[in-house]
Amino acid sequence: EDQVTQSPEALRLQEGESSSLNCSYTVSGLRGLFWYRQDPGKGPEFLFTLYSAGEEKEKERLKATLTKKESFLHITAPKPEDSATYLCAVQAVANSNSGYALNFGKGTSLLVTP
């Protein structure tokens, strides 16, 4: 059974204090790993897709990396506006019988204080 586990559940950082969020996964054939940001009361907003081990993508203060077992979302010098819940999701070959729907982790709630 496909599993996606995110850690930590919650993270509190001072502004400028860099850190990383982890997403470990067990799937039978990874088609893609996705990172989303979710603000309170809003729908998830797409950040990155990673397709193969060794791939990296960057956007402003965020950098996502992928290995065969896990992905990291690195946050460099975060600002208060980076506060949100970050969701990791995988799409597996086995998901082809569900329209290639995403299998989500529970998320990491990030709070960045001034």
SS3 100: coil
Supply the minimum distance, in Å, between the C-beta of residue 78 and another protein: 23
Q: Any contact of residue 4 with another protein (CB under 8 A)?
A: yes
Length of the chain: 114
Which one, 65 or 103, has the nearer CB to another protein? 103
The span from the CA of 39 to the CA of 55, in Å, is 26
With b for 16 or more beta-carbon neighbours within 10 A and e for fewer, the 22-48 pattern comes to: ebbbebeebebbbbbbeeeeeebeebb
Which one, 101 or 111, has the nearer CB to another protein? 101
Supply the minimum distance, in Å, between the C-beta of residue 96 and another protein: 8
| Residues 82, 112 contacting (CB under 8 angstroms) | yes
Residues 13, 62, 64, 87: which binds another protein (CB under 8 A)? 87
Supply the minimum distance, in Å, between the C-beta of residue 87 and another protein: 8
Q: Any contact of residue 50 with another protein (CB under 8 A)?
A: no
Q: Any contact of residue 21 with another protein (CB under 8 A)?
A: no
